[in-house]
Amino acid sequence: MSGVLELMNYAAPYAGNFLSSIRALADALRGRGVETVLVFPESARSRAWAPALERDFPVYYLPRDAAKAAGLLRRVIRKHDVKCVHSHFTDSHFYLPLRIALLGKPIPHVYHAHSLPHFSRGSMALRRRLIHADRILCVSEAVQSAYLAAGFSGCVLVPNGVDLERLQQTQTIRCPHPFVLLFGYDFRIKGIDVALDAFGRYDPAHRFTLGICVAGHGDQAREALCARFGAVPEWVQLLPPREDVGTYYRAADVFLSASRTEGMPYAVLEGAYCGLPLALSDIPQHRQLGLPRAEWFPTEDAQALFDGVCRAVQTTETAQNAAYVAEKFSLQTWTQNVLLQLFPKKERQL
């Protein structure tokens, strides 16, 4: 049985939508007689989600030492007859060992670009050589445009899918209302600084409560809040990550994304599918989702953000958004699109 190597610089404390997507892809490959081999950084070994993957797939953990990592990848490629490498979130500790391991081997490398490129202009040529991808799967039009502008070729638009079943696993939690849900620990990129300014200035009675899901970076978020306010304000709740993330969506009254930039805004699609009214910053990545209904506000405009949330909380027409996400962004659609890129000439025979 031939194999696909999924090389992932992923060690988040929760499996999340990303690993749900990898599972869906692996199941589709297995149905076509192709084995999926998973490679994570060594730091992922202790994660709670690792044992379940180890039961279902061959799983390896990449050491930090480049020579040892390259040797491990060579052995994995040989043992599992790897015909394609599909990489995610990779940095220099992954690029170089993979580049060495693939020397002299006609094995295609498909690089999945989940976010905008953050490397400097001076390092772009080096990054192109290190990544050495045959195709780059870009999760949004903005990501595709940025990689093309950086001189990368083979950039294909493949929007991410959402694990809709995962969102239906919910519990009941108590929270004050109206409850505004946000995601992110980088307050500047996600525009949470603007949201804090908006609700601090324009909601003096603190009628709204902001629930910020910080995705395993609670200390960083708490430090940012203390630096700004001296302590975590009573009208802000820091929410820990949880696998049944649908619980937060079901508890909230509005989903707010004030991002200055995005790769693929998963959380917006999840909130839309769960029936939440949306208040979104007017950036290309949000507009390109094509959602039928949202309240828009200019990026970094605190007054407009607050007004947008006030309009959204009065919204009752959300079914159209949910149906749209189910049709356009299912994992089944994503899986088929990725399969066509992993084996562009052989998909029909797999």
* Per-domain boundaries in the chain: 3-161+330-349, 165-328
Residue 268 CA, chain-centre distance (Å), reads 11
The confidence score (pLDDT) of residue 349 equals 43
How do residues 132-175 score in pLDDT, each as one tens digit?
899 999 999 989 999 999 889 999 999 999 999 989 888 888 88
pLDDT of 114-127, one tens digit each? 988 876 665 666 67
The CA distance from 53 to 96, in Å, is 26
Sheet containing 295-297, strands listed edge to edge, beginning at the edge strand earlier in sequence: 236-239, 209-213, 179-183, 254-257, 278-281, 295-297
Top pLDDT among 34 and 217 is at: 34
Helix (H) or strand (E) holding 28: helix 16-30
State the pLDDT at residue 216. 61
Distance CA(110)–CA(194), nearest Å, equals: 37
What pLDDT was estimated at residue 350? 43
Q: How far apart are CA 160 and CA 162, in angstroms?
A: 7
Helix (H, G, I), strand (E, B) or coil at 261: coil
Which distant-in-sequence residues (6+ apart) come within 8 Å of 184 by Cβ?
190, 192, 212, 213, 214, 215, 259
What's the pLDDT band for 283 if we cut at 50, 70, 90?
Answer: very high
Compute the CA torsion angle 343, 102, 24, 345 (nearest 10 deg). Answer: 0
Q: How many CB atoms lie within 10 A of CB 326?
A: 13
3-state secondary structure at position 248 = helix
Whether pLDDT at 19 is above 60: yes
Per-residue pLDDT, 346: 54
Which CATH class for the 3-161+330-349 domain? alpha beta
* pLDDT for the residue 218: 73
Percent of the chain scored above 90 by pLDDT?
75
Q: Is the separation of the CB atoms in 159 and 290 below 8 Å?
A: no
Asked if the domains 3-161+330-349 and 165-328 are classified in one and the same CATH topology, the answer is yes
The CATH fold assigned to 165-328 is Rossmann fold (3.40.50)
| Across 86-100, average pLDDT | 89
pLDDT for res 119: 64
